[in-house]
Structure 1
Amino acid sequence: MRVLFVFGTRPEAVKLCPLVLAMCERGGFEPRVCVTAQHREMLDAILTAFGVEAQIDLNLMRPGQTLAGLTARIIKALDPVLVEEQPDFVLVQGDTTTTFAAALAAFYRRIRVGHVEAGLRTGDVAEPFPEEMNRVLTTRLAALHFAPTARAAENLIGERVARDTIHVTGNTGIDALQYIRGRLERGEIAGYAGPLPPAGKLVVAMTAHRRESFGPGFEQICDAALRLAARGDVEIIYPVHPNPNVRETVHRRLRGVPGITLLEPLEYVPFVDLMRRADVLLTDSGGVQEEGPSLGKPVLVMRDKTERQEAVEAGVAKLVGTDPDRITAAVAEALGNAKKGSGREAVDSPFGDGRASVRILDIIQSFQSK
């Protein structure tokens, strides 16, 4: 069975590479990888970390490209690939522009689409933007829906998606985390080699990149970071996203501030290692919300809504928005717990057990045999 994986960003690659590897190990599949290179620099490092090779590289990202322009370019470039490859299935992941555009291109060619990490919803098409709409539209195009949790499956059922096409598999991001963490612990790969504070200082690993926070939201996030750095007992380590809307504000407000270390974007492996070393994770990233609980780290989410409500309900993540008062209060509480040695132990993740890829392969094989 020929399966074409299409992805373009680091999060997609992280969550699809374990599935590619599992497919190669099992046999009976002919996996083919097509990348749009929506995140060129970040994407290549992931492929290397997992030993996955892209057979087709569309290399579509351009500086200043609009969402509409990128969507059109993906559909146009992918169509001849679909004609030449003739896959039995196209697999996409998550909620990016590549996800939606690839699903639409496959639909136009009457090729079945499998959606990995299906069913996540905030219920607000403006948050996250444009991801919420991307995943809603991808749902309408997919033949198989691989929901990471029971809640995600219920979301799909509530949208009248056929029940026999919905499968709760767990999240392949946990598969990836366990694979990389194991290699780090065995010393097979190099981890984080960047600056760390002296002993006695607590580490806040921070990421922020959401489009809906551009402008005032990022100004508030920077206000919070400045307040936290002023404590004197905290080092914020912040790999800054390459998007110019993020970098301009962050470097203008935070560069050179004592207690704040700004880094270039970290590759996935060193970032996993940084999370392992941190005391608190301050983020707006979906992936970090999933990974943090498995690493035993408190996760503070700089958003007002999350499509990963399971972590909030389990008490392993907390929504803090972008208000500086809320952020600093929540970080102070989490750091206080860390100082007392009452931080969390690694817990069973509400997002999976590391076997999502195996379940997805079983489902695809069963579906194909019908």
Structure 2
Amino acid sequence: MKVAVIFGTRPEAIKLAPIIKELEKNGFLDVTVISTGQHKEMLEPILEWFEISPDYDLELMKPNQTLSSLSALCIERLEVVLNKISPDLLITQGDTTTAFISSLVAFYNKIKVAHVEAGLRTYNNLSPWPEEVNRNLISKIADFHFAPTDNNKNNLLQENVTKEKVFVTGNTVIDALLFSAEKVTKENIYPEELEAFFTGGLKEKKLVLITGHRRENFGKGFIGISEAIRALANSNPNVYFIYPLHLNPNVQETVREYLSDLENVKLIKPLGYPEFISAMKRSTLILTDSGGVQEEGPGLGKPILVMRDNTERPEALKHGTVKLVGTNKSNIINAVQELLSNKEIYDKMANAVNPYGDGTAAKQIVSILQEKKNLV
């Protein structure tokens, strides 16, 4: 069986890396790795970390590119590659433009599609945008749906996806996390900007790690987030707030305007994946609007406060590993302050069971593909 694996963003590469490595161990599978380069600068260190070298790079990104122009270019360039290599199966992950468009091109060329991280839903097409629509459309195309949880499986079954096509495997992000957490500890890797928190005079200080990049939070949302962090920093002078700033100007401009003058708020450059894992391990709690961090943080025993109004990961809410706080200033302040001051509530979140698996998702996925290869 000839298999193509495609990714374009850093999260996709992280979550597909364990599958690629598992496929490479398997002599029955001829593997071609394709990068669309959707997040080119952020991809290269990830590929180096996991020792993955793409066979094809579509180099899609251009300045001031719209989603429509990105999609059109992806269709054009990916079709050329797929026609050249003629895979039996395309493996795609998640809900990005790369994931949706590659699934569509595979369908147009009568290539089977395996969707990793299938069945996530918010049932709000504008949140997250455009991811919610992307993953819904992929589910209409895919032949194999690898769902992280039973809840994701049930979402697919309710949408009339045939149950024989849905497999609950856990999430490969945990595979990548456990591998990387062990490696950063062994190699003593941490962000240079945070050296004092690892080896210097700030080793014992509480640290709140912040990430934010969602389009739906641009403008008013990031103002609310920034105002909340400012208030928390002023009322907790012995707590440090570490914010690796996303490169998008819509994030940079607002956050810097509100937070750049505070001594215990550190605005730093985006972290590489191993450095970010190290920062998560060192943190007391995490404020985020990310999807993947909702899965990774609990794997390291960190309470997660989600700065969104909804989440496609309700299992985390049910298990108590995350809490929704939105972008409302008061909600963020109250939730962070509670975790900083109430040990019982903190310990309950920190010790909750992570619902996203035990780090064997990639092995399960490749085993299923081996077993079902006659259907491809």
What amino acid is aligned across from residue 269 of structure 1 in structure 2? P
Q: Which residue of 1 aligns with 2:155?
A: 155
Q: Offset of 1:347 from its aligned partner?
A: 5.0
- Match status 1:192 vs 2:191: yes
Q: Distance in 2 between matches of 1:160 and 1:343?
A: 37
Residue 284 of structure 1 corresponds to: 289
1:220 to 192, 201, 224: 224
SS at match of 1:230: helix
Name which of 332, 346, 354 aligns with 1:327.
332
Q: Is the 8 A contact 1:13 1:46 kept in 2?
A: yes
CA distance in 2, matches of 1:287, 1:88: 29
Question: Are residue 79 (structure 1) and residue 84 (structure 2) matched?
Answer: no
After superposition, the C-alpha distances for 1:272-303 in whole angstroms (9 at most, x for unaligned) are: 01000000100011111001111111100000
Cα distance in 2, alignment partners of residues 339 and 123 from structure 1: 33
Aligned equivalents of 1:116, 1:156: Cα separation in 2: 13
Query: Shift of residue 199 of structure 1?
Result: 4.5
Match of 2:103 in 1: 103
TM-score normalised to structure 2 length: 0.95
Q: In the alignment, what sits opposite 1:316?
A: 321
SS in 1 for 2:271: coil
Q: How does 1:136-147 map to 2 (within 5 A)?
A: 136-147=136-147
Higher mean alpha-carbon deviation, 214-223 vs 255-264, is at: 255-264
Kindly provide the CA deviation profile for residues 198-255 of structure 1, in whole angstroms up to 9, marking residues without a partner as x: 2453100000001111111011111111111112122111111112221221222222
Deviation of 1:339 after TM superposition, in Å, equals: 10
- Contact 1:36 1:57 (8 Å CA) reproduced: yes
Deviates more, 1:195-204 or 1:147-156: 195-204
Aligned length: 369
Measured in 1, the distance between the counterparts of 2:230 and 2:254 equals 13
Q: Which whole-Å CA distance do the structure 2 matches of 1:257 and 1:76 have between them? A: 48
Q: Distance in 2 between matches of 1:145 and 1:106?
A: 15
Which runs of structure 2 are paired with 1:18-57 in the superposition (5 Å)?
Answer: 18-57=18-57
Q: Does 1:119 align with 2:119?
A: yes
Q: Is the 8 A contact 1:294 1:346 kept in 2?
A: no
The answer to whether the 8 A contact 1:209-1:241 is kept is yes
C-alpha RMSD over aligned residues: 1.6
3-state SS, counterpart of residue 115 of structure 2: strand
Shift of 1:343: 6.8
1:363: how far off? 1.2
Picking from 211, 227, 237, the partner of 1:207 is: 211
**Equivalences for 1:355-366 in 2 at 5 Å?**
355-366=360-371
**1-side partners of 2:180 and 2:332: how far apart?**
30
Counterpart position of 2:270: 265
